[in-house]
Chains A and B, each alone.
Chain A
């Protein structure tokens, strides 16, 4: 299959094309990693713009800027774009750059397929963004596209469904590539239990993706046939059931949230030992904890559905199973802290983001535990408390881990040190504005402010005002990241050594900075 497509004309590795064609036809894991990262940064800003639109409307009570339908489009598309366009592709970008270099492989297992998996993404993203401009606008059914809302909306919903199909296919292909690379292409001596944790977390994440992305594809296919081909999966009148959609969606959805955090755990597990100048505490327990989180994530989905009227036994089961996940998560947090214990710590930007991650992510874990308690969740479901919970784990969790990874590896990728002062500004501003934005949501949520509603009672005015101001600050702070990254790419900043960080260990740090286009063509030997 690979061979059949290699002689399409631009196969030969030695003379790759230049300019735009280089990027369109590239099969090099580093190029593709860069493409993924640039793509996800772009989507991050598009999604961020939508978030600014949401917070602008919520700045004050009453309706100021948008029609309510458009507000719902903003929240839905913000979620879809951030999840499928920003966070997931960013982690795949890291996998592309780092996995081959960390295990001593020359490239990804299926280089041509790698190119396809990337180029599907801009297609899906274009469909998604274009859906704003069709009659009726984009989908407004939330990122969870619950039936029966999603069986009723206009053509924007169809575009979202196609986009999900395409982006899902891209993730499945990407995951197959990652698993195959990790299983078959490790350098001699690189046993599974010697692999860096980032590689381990991605291996497990890729399995999760292969297990659940097809389920999402199935769910949206059912939506599509319900909408256009007269099936009745979710249509009550025809004997279907909208609650079924929630079950299928969350069977995908809960593992999906772990898909978005596990590689982040991996990055933090690389960064913390480096700046503690100590090996990671409890390496094998980290591996087992990651695996148990992944396995448990398949049996907790209905904690998103405590209010649909499940039998009490089922509610109890999902409550306890959910709480169980906190145990391996706690093991991880414990290990990171134990790694830092008595280490000779320094706090460069990657370490700042990693520490910020540990602190703030744990708060998100605790609110998760609160929400796992069925009777509490029945009060809090669909309020801003949930919004606070998942932004603590996704923004201060996944996103901060991504930032840590960018600052950690960008000197290796570009050969130039980033601007440390600006990096620190980026961290502190992000951290402060993040909390200004999302901390008040715990209070508004507890007081009963429902999510996904464009207007609110006067009593919530002050907290919403604070949240909105914080969000504008958070959005603006992200421009620093762009500036720092662009500076590095253009070669400003001092040249770095191969090792970059004094405490760094691993195969990627034995390569020159920046690494040559092809690395490890003869595999290194790991002792």
Chain B
């Protein structure tokens, strides 16, 4: 029986090691996922896009680009697009402005996340400059006008005539909010 107990202990230790390794594996999926997404060019909405190679403006076609601005529930800001929508040609470099104001009496840092409707338009929507590429920190009461510079590639499927660019500002907690 003693040898039995010893063999059991050994198996126990081995299996515990496997369990701990798998706990680590769960966390290892995080950097692995990042690397994979970067390598495959997925999920790059927060980085400037390369200007499109074919910058020919398709003057024969009009697109309506609508702008939408949202705040995640507890962020004490106001956030609005200056232009509600613009009518442009595919391939034309366009600049629009968003306004944001901190309504609270503390410093708050926020990060905007863009999304597109229809979703597939995102692939043809090239942002060359955007306030979403960096976090925005606003002092109490501070207001800011922020540009977005973009080109919609002429390759956008013909049946898409309206694209909505929607931003949601999230508070980045534990940053400016706490140290002031």
Interface residues of A (CB under 8 A from B): 1-2, 109-110, 172, 175-176, 179-180, 183-185, 210-219, 222, 230, 233, 235-239, 241, 243-244, 247-248, 251, 309, 311
Name the one of A2, A214, A237, A311 contacting B111, with C-beta atoms under 8 angstroms.
Answer: A237
B4 touches A215 (CB 8 A): no
For B50, the chain A residues whose CB sits under 8 A away are: none
B97 to chain A, nearest CB (A): 22
B172 touches A244 (CB 8 A): no
Identify whether the interface residues of B are mostly helix, strand, loop, or mixed.
helix
A247 touches B29 (CB 8 A): yes
For B46, the chain A residues whose CB sits under 8 A away are: 239
For A183, the chain B residues whose CB sits under 8 A away are: 11
B28-63 vs A: 1/0 string, CB under 8 Å? Answer: 011001000100101100100000000000000000
A210 touches B11 (CB 8 A): no
Q: How far is the CA of A241 from the CA of B18 in the complex (A)?
A: 27
Name the one of B8, B25, B170 contacting A109, with C-beta atoms under 8 angstroms.
Answer: B8
10 closest pairs, A vs B, by CB? A218-B26, A237-B170, A214-B23, A230-B174, A237-B111, A214-B22, A215-B26, A180-B11, A176-B15, A109-B8
Interface residues of B (CB under 8 A from A): 4-5, 7-9, 11-12, 15-16, 18-20, 22-27, 29-30, 33, 37, 40, 42-43, 46, 72, 110-111, 113, 119, 170-174
For A217, the chain B residues whose CB sits under 8 A away are: 23, 26
**Interchain Cβ contacts under 8 Å between A and B, 11 examples:** A2-B5, A176-B11, A176-B12, A176-B16, A180-B15, A211-B22, A213-B19, A230-B174, A237-B170, A237-B171, A248-B29
Name the one of A179, A230, A235, A239 contacting B15, with C-beta atoms under 8 angstroms.
Answer: A179
Identify whether the interface residues of A are mostly helix, strand, loop, or mixed.
helix
Q: How far is the CA of A247 from the CA of B27 in the complex (A)?
A: 12
Whether A244 touches B29, Cβ cut-off 8 Å, given contacts A210-B15, A236-B113, A237-B113, is yes
A73 to chain B, nearest CB (A): 20
A299 to chain B, nearest CB (A): 14
Name the one of B25, B42, B170, B174 contacting A236, with C-beta atoms under 8 angstroms.
Answer: B170
Whether A184 touches B16, Cβ cut-off 8 Å, given contacts A211-B22, A247-B33, is no
A171 to chain B, nearest CB (A): 10
A233 touches B30 (CB 8 A): yes
B8 touches A244 (CB 8 A): no
Q: How far is the CA of A213 from the CA of B37 in the complex (A)?
A: 25
For A237, the chain B residues whose CB sits under 8 A away are: 72, 110-111, 113, 170-172
Query: Which of A175, A230, A236: most chain B CB closer than 10 A?
Result: A236
B131 to chain A, nearest CB (A): 13
Q: How far is the CA of A239 from the CA of B135 in the complex (A)?
A: 10
A83 to chain B, nearest CB (A): 19
Q: How far is the CA of A219 from the CA of B25 in the complex (A)?
A: 11
B33 touches A244 (CB 8 A): yes
A172 touches B19 (CB 8 A): yes
Q: How far is the CA of A247 from the CA of B111 in the complex (A)?
A: 24
Residue of B with least CB distance to A249:
B26
Whether A184 touches B33, Cβ cut-off 8 Å, given contacts A210-B22, A235-B170, A309-B119, is no
B13 to chain A, nearest CB (A): 10
B33 touches A110 (CB 8 A): no
Name the one of A110, A215, A216, A233 contacting B12, with C-beta atoms under 8 angstroms.
Answer: A110
Q: How far is the CA of A211 from the CA of B23 in the complex (A)?
A: 9
Q: How far is the CA of A309 from the CA of B11 in the complex (A)?
A: 42
Further 19 A-B residue pairs, CB within 8 A, beyond A219-B26, A237-B72, A238-B111: A1-B12, A2-B5, A110-B8, A110-B12, A179-B11, A179-B15, A184-B7, A184-B8, A184-B11, A214-B19, A214-B26, A217-B26, A222-B30, A233-B30, A237-B111, A241-B37, A244-B30, A251-B26, A311-B40
B123 to chain A, nearest CB (A): 10
Q: How far is the CA of A243 from the CA of B12 in the complex (A)?
A: 35
Name the one of A184, A230, A251 contacting B4, with C-beta atoms under 8 angstroms.
Answer: A184
Q: How far is the CA of A213 from the CA of B16 in the complex (A)?
A: 12
Q: How far is the CA of A210 from the CA of B18 in the complex (A)?
A: 7
B173 touches A211 (CB 8 A): no
A475 to chain B, nearest CB (A): 36
For A2, the chain B residues whose CB sits under 8 A away are: 5
Q: How far is the CA of A276 from the CA of B29 in the complex (A)?
A: 47
For B119, the chain A residues whose CB sits under 8 A away are: 309
Whether A215 touches B22, Cβ cut-off 8 Å, given contacts A184-B7, A233-B30, A244-B30, is yes
Q: How far is the CA of A214 from the CA of B24 in the complex (A)?
A: 8
Residue of B with least CB distance to A231:
B174
For B5, the chain A residues whose CB sits under 8 A away are: 2
B33 touches A241 (CB 8 A): yes
For B7, the chain A residues whose CB sits under 8 A away are: 184
Q: How far is the CA of A217 from the CA of B7 in the complex (A)?
A: 28
B170 touches A180 (CB 8 A): no
Q: How far is the CA of A214 from the CA of B22 in the complex (A)?
A: 6
Q: How far is the CA of A404 from the CA of B37 in the complex (A)?
A: 46
Residue of B with least CB distance to A229:
B174
For A179, the chain B residues whose CB sits under 8 A away are: 11, 15
B43 touches A241 (CB 8 A): yes
For B19, the chain A residues whose CB sits under 8 A away are: 172, 176, 210, 213-214
B175 to chain A, nearest CB (A): 9
